[in-house]
Structures are given as structure tokens and as C-alpha cells.
């Protein structure tokens, strides 16, 4: 942002201007000093809205200036002149939470939560929403007192409407209703506070901010966060309660949240924990009292759809569920129209101390299996919808909103001269790769789902059928595995002119049936009929090479491999009726974890991890799907009873991006299972 300092000085004649303090999404902050009072200040220069109008700025600024709370930055003045919008506020020179959070003790993290909650409760009571709670917007004064800054700035820029007319906020902290451009409320700020606390306590946010933005948004919309690692159960429950997807399922107010957090911290750290922290706090009496009462520490109620057990990674036994069109929204904007439901015309709007009455009406799910009588290979297409459907209104590979049974889009993709063995979507959802029994691979442009078309000529080079294809996480490389005992890499950055990269990867002594990239895209795993798994360093695509020695232990063909999202564990499935887990955190020295997982009485065709990596699903030739608790990699165990219903061997399993639905396929049908 380029600022004409002369214009700013003219607009603020009583101030001396200093250097820049920082720059954010909504403007630039300069240091300054009021000459008459000799008071240091910070001057925020706002970026005007798109229409350039100033209507609405002054009323909002007056509202902000009226905020007076120990944990809220004090606004001294607002000036709007000659196209400039300036807010003058107290200068906080004690640094930001971003700088202080490294190594912060959990007691201090909870104290931060109480201070921010106090600031939010005060502002919400005056109908002010923050909309961008994050570590960068939490500063400290010279005495160490915490202050929340940038209150209402997003609202000033947008205007006074409490429905998001556009997506504004920090992606890793945004509530589902912000992403869906739905109705905003105090619960929106509470969700962001939950994200902040989750990161302060566990060292990482609920969802990886390095994910592609659409994928990150999909997680905020649909994925239940894993329990924060190393966080006391009572505190974790309170944090997860704030992260409920539906605003009505979060605590009824930020004050209620603070009470729960204070009680939980007292249970975890003992009475008097508040006075032992290094955070300056100005709290209401009832919050301080709660912080000294571990005996009455309540456990925050679990919102619908969360896992209610206290053992990490141990979901309830899943039950089959009919296809639900809400699992496959056609676009984020569609989600905004369908959820959260708007209040009735004469009903109350959400407030700091209440939620819409309509929130109590829940959509019940029938407990039964739904079988889709389509080709088994289509399981990859259906599950890819969960990741790619929200990218555009025309994205779904099947039309699922108008009918409980998916309807085909366009005509079949026909160019192969033999059976199709494997299909994979590129991460952007616009390209599909298919592997053929005739030894070729084809790329398809599916950006218009109703009129897919081939891209370029078939990829040739394999001398036998191609069994598996997989895209790298960045979508620029395709790997293929073949009956000719080789793996090949292809540069597909130009979809219309793909070409081979380097020479074939050799070493397997039998067919290669499965390939998969590690999440970082630098390692490739391959599984073979020779009973081994191999890891390949593909960081340099033109000169890939073998990592370490082959992984051995299976006594027959290995037909499937899958990485956990963190890339530290690999699962393999085999014709020997077993599944094995491997520690691949050191790629050059992978090692088996625990004993083989046994239970299937036939081939194990496919394995897949939930997004949080704590549950593994396996598909067997014995017509069953099994679930395994792998939260302790060295001691995995079965979860519940086998899932039955298929009348033939189950060939493939895959989870949706939120981990709440499992799909399984056999020769006659695809079945969907509710993971709870």
C-alpha cells in the first residue's frame, strides 16, 4: 500500500508521524505521537471499499471508539477526509502473540484464551464482531497486558451487514459460515478463538495452512479436527466444542466458553493456575472463581458429529448411511445457501447469549446400506467429488443434488482399447488420468463435467497393462505402475503435451500394482507382485532413485499402499491376507511397526487412512471391510466388527476429505458408510 504521508499529516495536524509499524489486509499502520498530550499512538490507514463510498465508516468508527475494555485496544480518534480513512489508537509496544507463542506453557495459552474471550464478550455485547481473531491481532502493552486489536476493521471495510457478502478473513482461522458467505454471529469469532487455542496448545492449527486454499476451506466446512495432541482431555473438549461446524453447536456465548475453559484448566493445572501464568489478566469475578474450582469442572458437551470418546482415534463403530446430497455440495456458494439455515422471518437472530431456535431441528440419518450399482472403479470418482466438487458449479462428476442416486454426466469416456484398471483426479479436479489394459494412459479434461474430452495423445512406453496411476500433490507429475515390472514418471504440467521423465524405475521382479506419492511429493511408494514395497526419491523428477532396501515381510503379492497425511507411516495390503504398517519417517531406513494386522480370510485388496491418520480401512476378498485403530502405530487393533453387505470381494476403499464417510466397492456395487 502506497501512502502519501503529506496527505496523512494534513488530515492529522496535531500528530507527528513516525515510521511504519506493519501492514495488514486492510491497511497500513504508522507510528505517531500526539503533540499536545505527548502520547504515542498507532495510526491505521484503511483501504476504502470497492465502491469508494464513505457511508457507514463513521458510524462504525464511533462504535469502535466507544469500546473501553482492559483487553481491547483503545481507539482515540477517527478521521475521514479527502478519501483517507484513519483510525488513531493506543500504541502497543510489547510485541505480538505471534512472537511470544513459541514454547508458550499450556497455562499461559489458556490465559490467552480467557483474555481474548473477555474482549470478545465485551464487544459482542455491543454488537461488534471482530471477524479476524488470530495471533497477529493480539498484542501486548509495555506492562505485558494482552490487547485484542483490529476490532471491527473487517466490518468497517464491508459495511454494517452481518451476512458476509464476500469471503474476508485469515483462511486458517475462518469459520465455516465465513467461507460459505453465510450469517455471521459471535459464534464466528468463537470458532477463530478455538483455532487459535488449538494451535497455542498443540503447536499446530487444526488444519494445515499450507494446503491449497480450496482444500483448506473444505476441511473447515466438513472435517472434524483431530483431538489436539498432548492437551489435557478437559481442555481439548472445550476447544473442540468451539470448533463445531454449525454455529448453533458451539458454546452459547464467549463468556460461557470462558467459564468452561477456566473450569477445565483448573482441573488440569490445579487451583490458582491463573495467578501462576505470565499473562496479565483482567477477568470477571465468576471467571476467576471458575479458575479455582477443579472439582466442578464441567466437560463441554460434544457437538453433533464429533467423536465423544476420550481415547484418541477411536471413533464409534460406523454404520452404513444412504447417500446424502449434502456430502457433495456443487459449490461453496451452494453450501452458503443451504447451511446454516436462515432464521425464520419473525424469529430471533443469533446473539451473544442465544442461538436460533431452528438449530434444534436436526436432520436424522437412516441406518442402512445404500448400494450404487455402478462400476467398481467409480469409487475413486465418487470420493474425489468430496475434494473437487466445491471448486466450481459444474464440477461434480455425478449430479447428486437432484436425486439420491448419482446420475451420469455426459457420455462415457471411450478411447481405450481394453479395460480401465485405475483412475485418478489431479488435485485441481480438472484433469482425470486413466490406466488401460492396453499399456497406455490417457488424460481427460473434465473441467466441463458434461463434456469431458481427451487431452493430447495416449501416454505410451509401458510394454504391458498399466495397473495404477497417481498424481503428485502439486499435480505436475503423474506416476504409473505396470505389469511390465516398472514404474514411470510423466511430466503433465502441460496437459496437452505430457512427456516421460527420465528412465523407467526398475527393480521389482514382478508386476507393480500400486503407486502413491507421499504428501510432500518427494517420495513415491510402489507395491509389487514380488511381495515387496519400494520407496523412491523423486525430488528430482528426471533422476529418481531407490531409497534404502525393499520393504519385505509379506509372503505374497502386495497390491496396495497408502501414506498417512503426515507422510511418516505407510500401510500395505497383500494377498497373504494381512496388512502391515511401516515407519517411513526415515526414508532411507524404513522399518515395520508392530505385528501384521490379521483378520481377513482372503486377499486384502486396498487400504486407506482417515485424514487424521488414526483409523485405517481395509478391503478384502472375503467380502468385508475392516477398520483398525492405528493411533498407536506399534499396537494397532481392530475396531468393531467387519462391515458386511457386499456379495463379492471388496476391491477398493476410500475416505472423503472430512473422514466422515467411507466408500467401498466390489464388482456389483459401491457402498457408503457413516464414520460418525
Question: What's residue 166's pLDDT?
Answer: 56
Q: Which of 75, 90, 105 is the last residue of a domain?
A: 90
In a domain, 381, yes or no: no
Average pLDDT (268-273) is 90
Tens digits of residue pLDDT in 538-566? 999 889 999 989 999 999 999 999 999 99
Band of pLDDT at residue 4, cut at 50, 70 and 90 = confident
What is the residue-averaged pLDDT of the chain?
79
Arithmetic mean of pLDDT, 221-246: 93
Catalytic option among 77, 82, 108, 132: 132
Q: Could you tell me if residue 661 is inside a domain?
A: no
Q: What is the pLDDT of residue 25?
A: 53
3-state secondary structure of 112: helix
CATH number of the domain that residue 67 is part of: 3.30.200.20
Ramachandran class of 129: left when φ > 0, alpha when ψ lies in -120 to 50, beta otherwise: beta
Whole-model pTM: value is 0.48
Same domain as 290, residue 167: yes
Give the separation between CA 350 and CA 186, rounded to whole angstroms. Answer: 8
Please state, in angstroms and rounded to a whole number, the distance separating the CA atoms of residues 666 and 676.
Answer: 23
Lowest mean pLDDT among 150-154, 234-238, 447-451, 553-557: 150-154
Using pLDDT thresholds of 50, 70 and 90, give the confidence band for residue 214. confident
Condensed to tens digits (0 to 9), the pLDDT of residues 475-517 reads: 999 999 999 999 999 999 998 899 999 999 999 999 999 999 9
CA angle (577 as vertex; 572, 581 as ends), nearest 5:
30
- Is residue 393's pLDDT more than 70? no
The sign one gets for the Cα dihedral 283, 285, 289, 290 is negative
Q: How confident is the model at residue 58 (pLDDT cuts 50, 70, 90)?
A: low
Q: Which of 90, 119, 143 is the last residue of a domain?
A: 90
Q: Are 48 and 83 in contact (CB under 8 A)?
A: yes
Spatial separation of the C-alpha atoms in residues 184 and 170, rounded to whole Å: 15
Label residue 283 by pLDDT band (50, 70, 90): very high
44 assigned to a ligand binding site: yes
Cell of 106: 499450556
pLDDT at 409: 67
Based on the domain organization, do 38 and 113 belong to the same domain?
no
Are residues 158 and 278 located together in one domain of the fold?
yes
Structure confidence at residue 558 (pLDDT): 94
CB neighbour list of residue 74: distance below 8 Å, 6 or more residues apart: 67, 68, 89, 90
Domain shared by 28 and 104, yes or no: no
Q: Are residues 106 and 184 in the same domain?
A: yes
Q: Which residues form the domain of 19?
A: 5-90
Q: Predicted confidence band at 389 (pLDDT cuts at 50, 70, 90)?
A: very low
Q: Which of 394, 399, 457 is nearest to 430 (CA)?
A: 394
Same domain, 205 and 106: yes
Same domain, 70 and 101: no
State the pLDDT at residue 252.
Answer: 93
Same domain, 77 and 146: no
Q: What is the pLDDT of residue 460?
A: 94
Q: Report pLDDT digits (tens) over 435-444.
A: 888 889 999 8
Residue 608 belongs to what H/E stretch? strand 604-609
- pLDDT for res 179: 86
Q: Are residues 65 and 106 in the same domain?
A: no
Asked, for residue 627, whether it belongs to a domain, the answer is no
Residue 292 bears catalytic tag: no
The rounded distance, in Å, linking the Cα atoms of 482 and 226 is: 36
Answer yes or no: is pLDDT of 295 > 50: no
Model confidence pLDDT, tens digit, residues 586-608 = 998 999 999 999 999 988 989 99
Using DSSP's 3-state secondary structure scheme, residue 464 falls into coil
- Residue 654 in any domain: the answer is no
More reliable by pLDDT, 407 or 629:
629
CATH of the domain at 244: 1.10.510.10
Total domains in the fold of the chain: 2
Amino acid at each position: 500500500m502506497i501512502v502519501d504521508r503529506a496527505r496523512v499529516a494534513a488530515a492529522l495536524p496535531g500528530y507527528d508521524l513516525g515510521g511504519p509499524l506493519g501492514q495488514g489486509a486492510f491497511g497500513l499502520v504508522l507510528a505517531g505521537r500526539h503533540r499536545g498530550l505527548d502520547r504515542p499512538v498507532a495510526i491505521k490507514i484503511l483501504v476504502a471499499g470497492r465502491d469508494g463510498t464513505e457511508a457507514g465508516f463513521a458510524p462504525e468508527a464511533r462504535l469502535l471508539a466507544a469500546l473501553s475494555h482492559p483487553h481491547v485496544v483503545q481507539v482515540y480518534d477517527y478521521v475521514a477526509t479527502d478519501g483517507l480513512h484513519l483510525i488513531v489508537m493506543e500504541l502497543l509496544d510489547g510485541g505480538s502473540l505471534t512472537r511470544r507463542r513459541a514454547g508458550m506453557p499450556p497455562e499461559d495459552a489458556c490465559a490467552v484464551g480467557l483474555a481474548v474471550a473477555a474482549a470478545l464478550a465485551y464487544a459482542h455485547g455491543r454488537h461488534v464482531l471482530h471477524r479476524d481473531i488470530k495471533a497477529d491481532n493480539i498484542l501486548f502493552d509495555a506492562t505485558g497486558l494482552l490487547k485484542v486489536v483490529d476490532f471491527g476493521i473487517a466490518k468497517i471495510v464491508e459495511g454494517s451487514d452481518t451476512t458476509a457478502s464476500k469471503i474476508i478473513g485469515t483462511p486458517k482461522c475462518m469459520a465455516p459460515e465465513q467461507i460459505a458467505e453465510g450469517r455471521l454471529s459471535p459464534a464466528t469469532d468463537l470458532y477463530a478463538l478455538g483455532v487459535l487455542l488449538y494451535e497455542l496448545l498443540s503447536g499446530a492449527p487444526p488444519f494445515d495452512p499450507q494446503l491449497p486454499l480450496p482444500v483448506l476451506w473444505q476441511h473447515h466446512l466438513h472435517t472434524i479436527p483431530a483431538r489436539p495432541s498432548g492437551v489435557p482431555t478437559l481442555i481439548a473438549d472445550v476447544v473442540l466444542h468451539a470448533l463445531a461446524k454449525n454455529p448453533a453447536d458451539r458454546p452459547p456465548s464467549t463468556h460461557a466458553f470462558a467459564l468452561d475453559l477456566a473450569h477445565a484448566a483448573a482441573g488440569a493445572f490445579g487451583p490458582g493456575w491463573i495467578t501462576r501464568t505470565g499473562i496479565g489478566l483482567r477477568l470477571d469475578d465468576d471467571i476467576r472463581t471458575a479458575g479455582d474450582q477443579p472439582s466442578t469442572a464441567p466437560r463441554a458437551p460434544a457437538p453433533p458429529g464429533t467423536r465423544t470418546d476420550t481415547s484418541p482415534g477411536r471413533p464409534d463403530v460406523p454404520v452404513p448411511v444412504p447417500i446424502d446430497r449434502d456430502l457433495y455440495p456443487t459449490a461453496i456458494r451452494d453450501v452458503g445457501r443451504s447451511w446454516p439455515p436462515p432464521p425464520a422471518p419473525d424469529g430471533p437472530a443469533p446473539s451473544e447469549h442465544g442461538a436460533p431456535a431452528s438449530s434444534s431441528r436436526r436432520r436424522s440419518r437412516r441406518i442402512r446400506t445404500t448400494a450404487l450399482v455402478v462400476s467398481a472403479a467409480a469409487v475413486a470418482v465418487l470420493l474425489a467429488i468430496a475434494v473437487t466438487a466445491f471448486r466450481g458449479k459444474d464440477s461434480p462428476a455425478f449430479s447428486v443434488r437432484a436425486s439420491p442416486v448419482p446420475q451420469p454426466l455426459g457420455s462415457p469416456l471411450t478411447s481405450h482399447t481394453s479395460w480401465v484398471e485405475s483412475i485418478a483426479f489431479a488435485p485441481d479436479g480438472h484433469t482425470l488420468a486413466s490406466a488401460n489394459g492396453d499399456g497406455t494412459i490417457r488424460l481427460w479434461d473434465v473441467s466441463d463435467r458434461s463434456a469431458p474430452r481427451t487431452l493430447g495423445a495416449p501416454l505410451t512406453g509401458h510394454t504391458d497393462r498399466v495397473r495404477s496411476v497417481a498424481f503428485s500433490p502439486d499435480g505436475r507429475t503423474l506416476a504409473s505402475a505396470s505389469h511390465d515390472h516398472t514404474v514411470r514418471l510423466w511430466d503433465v504440467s502441460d496437459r496437452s503435451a505430457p512427456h516421460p521423465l527420465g528412465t523407467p524405475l526398475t527393480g521389482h521382479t514382478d508386476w507393480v500394482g500400486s503407486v502413491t506419492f507421499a504428501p510432500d511429493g518427494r517420495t513415491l511408494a510402489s507395491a509389487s507382485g514380488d511381495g515387496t514395497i519400494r520407496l523412491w526419491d523423486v525430488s528430482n523428477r528426471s533422476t529418481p532413485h531407490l531409497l534404502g532396501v525393499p520393504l519385505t515381510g509379506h509372503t505374497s503379492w502386495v497390491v496396495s499402499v497408502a501414506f498417512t497425511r503426515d507422510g511418516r507411516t505407510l500401510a500395505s495390503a497383500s494377498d497373504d491376507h494381512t496388512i502391515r504398517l511401516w515407519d517411513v519417517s526415515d526414508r532411507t531406513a524404513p522399518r515395520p511397526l508392530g505385528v501384521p494386522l490379521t483378520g481377513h480370510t482372503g486377499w486384502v485388496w486396498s487400504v486407506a487412512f482417515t485424514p487424521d491418520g488414526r483409523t485405517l480401512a481395509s478391503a478384502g476378498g472375503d467380502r468385508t471391510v475392516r477398520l483398525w485403530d492405528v493411533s498407536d502405530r506399534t499396537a494397532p487393533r481392530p475396531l468393531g466388527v467387519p462391515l458386511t453387505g457386499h456379495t463379492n470381494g471388496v476391491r477398493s476403499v476410500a475416505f472423503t476429505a472430512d473422514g466422515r464417510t467411507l466408500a467401498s466397492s466390489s464388482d456389483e456395487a459401491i457402498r457408503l458408510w457413516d464414520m460418525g
